[in-house]
Amino acid sequence: MFPTIFTLGIRGLGPLTEEGAGLLIMAIAGGALVVVQGWLADAFGLQMSFLLTVACEVYMLFYALWGARPTNAFPDLEGAQE
């Protein structure tokens, strides 16, 4: 699924495509949250450590429902160049 998510994530970024792609690739490091969850489990207990996972899932739900809506932030400039 990642190739599709990546392509949809950088679509329409215009001149910011390189920066957006870089940020999306860095998001792969989200797997590093396992270390943070381990620390939270040691500090607060295993069940409480899953609140980190819940927070990440809630953010993904927000992005899927509202954050990923297409905008006209970078309108097509072909007509302006003529």
pLDDT at position 51, please? 93
pLDDT at residue 63, as a whole number: 79
The 10s digit of each residue's pLDDT in 6-38 is: 888 888 888 888 888 887 777 766 666 778 889
Whether 75 shows a pLDDT value over 70: the answer reads: no
| Enclosing domain of residue 53 | 32-67
55 assigned to some structural domain? yes
Residue 24, in any domain of the structure: no
13 belongs to a structural domain: no
Amino acid 70 reads P
Residue 39 is assigned to a structural domain of this protein: yes
Give start and end residues of each alpha helix (H) in the chain: 2-10, 17-26, 33-44, 46-62
Q: Answer yes or no: is 79 within a domain.
A: no
* pTM of the predicted model as reported, rounded to 2 decimal places: 0.50
Taking a C-beta distance cutoff of 8 angstroms, is the pair 9, 27 a contact?
no
**Domain total for the chain?**
1
User: CA-to-CA distance for 10 and 31, rounded, in angstroms?
Assistant: 21
User: What is the tens place of the pLDDT at every residue in 37-58?
Assistant: 899 999 999 999 999 888 888 8
Taken in order 52, 54, 55, 61, the sign of the CA dihedral is positive
Q: Cα(9)–Cα(20) distance, rounded to whole angstroms?
A: 8
Instruction: Note the pLDDT of residue 78.
Output: 57
Q: Does 3 map to a domain?
A: no
